[in-house]
């Protein structure tokens, strides 16, 4: 299973819940060893909340703050331009 081909993990991707992909995190989620963690930002009005999410969850992710999504991981540092 490829984990880098999905368009949902590209920086700039915006899912249907207005959660924007900022970039890949500098660490891997220990709870899901084969998943990279990505930094997401809520683009909904007046929110802008940033948090970490597994790549596999990006397409369906909801904002933990304003959309009652599940709690995010701490907003990770993103790797500089590894795409």
Q: Which of 63, 73, 76, 78 binds Zn ion (CB under 5 A)?
A: 63
Backbone phi and psi for residue 54, each to the nearest 5 degrees, phi listed first? -70, 145
Q: Does 75 bind Zn ion (CB under 5 A)?
A: no
The two tokens of residue 11 are 């920086």
Q: Does 66 bind Zn ion (CB under 5 A)?
A: yes
CB of 3 vs Zn ion, minimal distance in Å: 26
The two tokens of residue 40 are 């997401």
CB of 44 vs Zn ion, minimal distance in Å: 5
Q: Does 65 bind Zn ion (CB under 5 A)?
A: yes
Give the chain's largest Cα–Cα span. Answer: 37
The two tokens of residue 25 are 């995190």
Q: Does 49 bind Zn ion (CB under 5 A)?
A: yes
The two tokens of residue 31 are 């709870």
Would you say 78 and 24 are in contact if contact means Cβ atoms under 8 Å apart? yes
Q: Which of 42, 58, 62, 73 binds Zn ion (CB under 5 A)?
A: 42
Residues that bind Zn ion (CB under 5 A): 42, 44, 47, 49, 63, 65-66
């Amino acid at each position: 299973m490829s984990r880098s081909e999905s368009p949902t993990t590209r920086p700039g991707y915006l899912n249907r819940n207005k959660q924007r992909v900022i970039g890949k995190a500098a660490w891997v989620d220990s709870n899901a060893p084969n998943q990279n963690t990505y930094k997401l930002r809520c683009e909904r009005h007046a929110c802008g909340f940033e948090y970490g999410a597994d790549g596999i969850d990006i397409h369906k992710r909801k904002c933990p703050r304003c959309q009652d999504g599940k709690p995010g991981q701490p907003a990770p540092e993103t790797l500089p331009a590894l795409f």
